[in-house]
């Protein structure tokens, strides 16, 4: 299966590309600010504490369905969306 041309992002520490079809994708740690993925840390660069955070984040955020916004930043949808809007 061919890889996509664009990775999700790069590790903030070693610049390794993050591919969402990679075997260790679920172990990456993403920092999300208001639903925007702002930083990624690969499994090798994570401390044990960060690794725990990654597991928590993975449970809550649906990284696999992230889509880039107009600036090319991945928008990660929340699996649990407490603010589902009914206001439109």
Q: Which residues bind Zn ion (CB under 5 A)?
A: 11, 13-14, 16, 42, 45
Nearer to Zn ion, 10 or 73 (CB): 10
Nearer to Zn ion, 13 or 79 (CB): 13
Task: Report helix, strand or coil for 75.
Answer: strand
For residues 86 and 30, give the distance between their C-alpha atoms in angstroms, rounded to a whole number: 28
Nearer to Zn ion, 11 or 32 (CB): 11
CA 31, 37, 42, 45 torsion: positive or negative? negative
CB of 68 to Zn ion, least distance (A): 21
């Amino acid at each position: 299966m061919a890889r996509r041309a664009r990775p999700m992002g790069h590790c903030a520490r070693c610049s390794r590309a993050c591919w969402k079809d990679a075997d260790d994708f679920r172990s990456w740690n993403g920092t999300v600010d208001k639903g925007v993925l702002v930083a990624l840390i690969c499994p090798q660069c994570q401390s044990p504490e960060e690794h725990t955070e990654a597991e928590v984040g993975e449970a809550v955020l649906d990284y696999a369905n992230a889509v880039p916004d107009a600036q090319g930043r991945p928008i990660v949808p929340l699996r649990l969306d407490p603010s589902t809007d009914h206001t439109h």
